[in-house]
Chain A
């Protein structure tokens, strides 16, 4: 049974449609990420759920009860904003006590609960500090404690890690997951960072141009993207435009590469246009053709070395190809040389147009 249900949510500003018919079911306790570039509608959807924006049409329901007409303060939804929104005139403990205070909880009991929640987020003993005396990561934890202390029916996180540096961001990803699991609170996390989405989510909702492109688990999204946009947005990929020449034999044709076989797919019929996706790490680089694989010759243009691995970019005819190789393997070629790249048929994934 779904905990949060969005049905047919649309939002338009004059002529511009920010959201078009968004449908989504989220189960109780689930950690769902809204992923998409800026302006894709993910934040608008979040604000509609929170009640700060109203949908032009459609419904938001929690536990089968419509939120229509409820102001933000009536919704019992916890939100952590990108810059935390901590009250600068209150201490950490007073900040966390605030939602309880608004619900009529007595001061002694409320402050005790606030301290408990601060302890859960790893800030035991920091209650008396003001936000400006805390680091970015600590402020983040206070904001999280404050959004959770009143046992909200839903936790919304609006790009909460955007302001933190890389190391702290990874640490907070782990922390947020731990706290979310400990409390079992249904959570929606908004981000434009695909690696953040991949590492944290039970499911990811990919937004583009006001529409949901795909809803799937991180692995499914990576291996079986349903649209060209999802394939290009999640991870690196080689996208090859083809025409299906024989659907029964799973054969397609690209002008530069020639005939390509693809993994089992029941989608497009013979003669239709489609896109093939090959992840760069599924392509092997060698001097000579490798038996049992599909081999083509590539002219290497650029090699970017990352130490443990390297990205080799080159061209097969006019088709740009990216190959991810282990660091040690890259020594066999140089920029400007020709080499052989090869893949298995099973790693060629077909995306319908």
Chain B
């Protein structure tokens, strides 16, 4: 046996593959097998037909949930960009101490469990929470319902996902050669023109990376929209949870999960064709 391995590794350089084997086996057993199981369930539960997919792709309820999921993911991505870009700029262009401080704040929020952060928003936005209290003190007679709305779930998701955006954009901004900015200035560019024609295009890869990451993660978000969102405006992950927890409809849940998986893979493929997936992690 040992002899056999020795001969194999001699012939081709197989050591890297042998080193990867534990991880590969783990992924196969605990990820690939269950995933295949889900795929099989989607066409066999309760009976072996494609009926589940037919219902998912034609039922107006399901389509509305998918649409809602995309709109929410797009909104969250856009909001993360609006918050994250200036923050990343500030980090990339301030003195080392300030930059470290901002970095610390961003990563601290990142390190806190997102369940904890979700509950924190429940406290902040609740009917007896500080924000409602503040509005009442300022004289708003009937403070609007904040918790369990699209607003509250979107806000919390932006908070949770913004660090992904900030980090991706920051890593690109930091690598920008200052000579490019100096060149632009010497050639007559200033202020907004310099930003629009030089700085923004140079940071575009970071924007694309951050956006696709936030969008894809957001598509499958479960806890936050379930705990904070409006029950009438569910996202796909929540709906899948419902199917399985409440209706024990494993087939329907699986079919939805497969559709979500295919859509996500499609987005990543398009992104890969355009920008290269290998750049996604900086």
Contacts and interface: CB of A to CB of B under 8 A. Distances in A.
Interface in B147-199: 177, 179-180, 182-190, 193, 197-198
A77 B186 contact: yes
A146 B186 CA distance: 11
B202 A89 contact: yes
A137 interface: no
B18 interface: no
B204 interface: yes
A102 B189 contact: yes
Given A79-B183, A87-B180, A88-B202, A71 B197 contact: no
B202 A150 contact: no
A79 B187 CA distance: 8
B190 A83 contact: no
B189 A52 contact: no
Given A89-B204, A98-B197, A73 B179 contact: no
Nearest to A158: B179
A101 B188 CA distance: 9
Given A85-B177, A87-B180, A89-B202, A50 B186 contact: yes
Chain B: interface size category: 10 to 19
A85 B190 contact: no
B201 interface: yes
A59 B186 CA distance: 19
Contacts of B183: 79, 81, 85-87
A79 B177 contact: no
A99 B179 contact: no
Contacts of A85: 177, 179-180, 182-183
Interface residues of A, number: 26
A78 B185 contact: no
A103 interface: yes
Contacts, number: 62
A72 interface: yes
A71 B202 contact: no
B177 A83 contact: yes
Contacts of A77: 186
Interface string A142-178: 0000110010000000000000000000000000000
Contacts of A98: 184, 187, 189, 197
Nearest to A47: B182
Report which residue of B186, B188, B189, B204 has the largest number of chain A beta carbons within 10 angstroms of its beta carbon.
Answer: B186
Nearest to A82: B179
Contacts of B184: 87, 98
B182 A81 contact: yes
Nearest to A94: B197
Given A81-B182, A85-B183, A73 B202 contact: no
Contacts of B182: 52, 72, 79, 81, 85
Given A52-B182, A89-B201, A89-B204, A146 B187 contact: yes
Interface string A52-67: 1000000000000000
Interface string A96-107: 001101110000
Contacts of A73: 185-190
Given A87-B198, A88-B202, A89-B202, A103 B180 contact: no
Given A81-B183, A87-B183, 11 more contacts: A50-B186, A75-B186, A77-B186, A79-B186, A90-B201, A98-B187, A98-B189, A99-B188, A102-B193, A147-B187, A150-B188
24 contacts: A50-B186, A52-B182, A71-B185, A71-B190, A73-B188, A77-B186, A78-B186, A78-B187, A83-B177, A85-B179, A85-B183, A87-B180, A87-B183, A87-B184, A87-B198, A87-B202, A89-B202, A98-B189, A98-B197, A102-B187, A102-B188, A102-B197, A146-B187, A150-B188
Q: Which 5 pairs show the lowest CB-CB distances between chains A and B?
A: A85-B183, A99-B187, A102-B188, A72-B185, A85-B179
Interface of B: 177, 179-180, 182-190, 193, 197-198, 201-202, 204
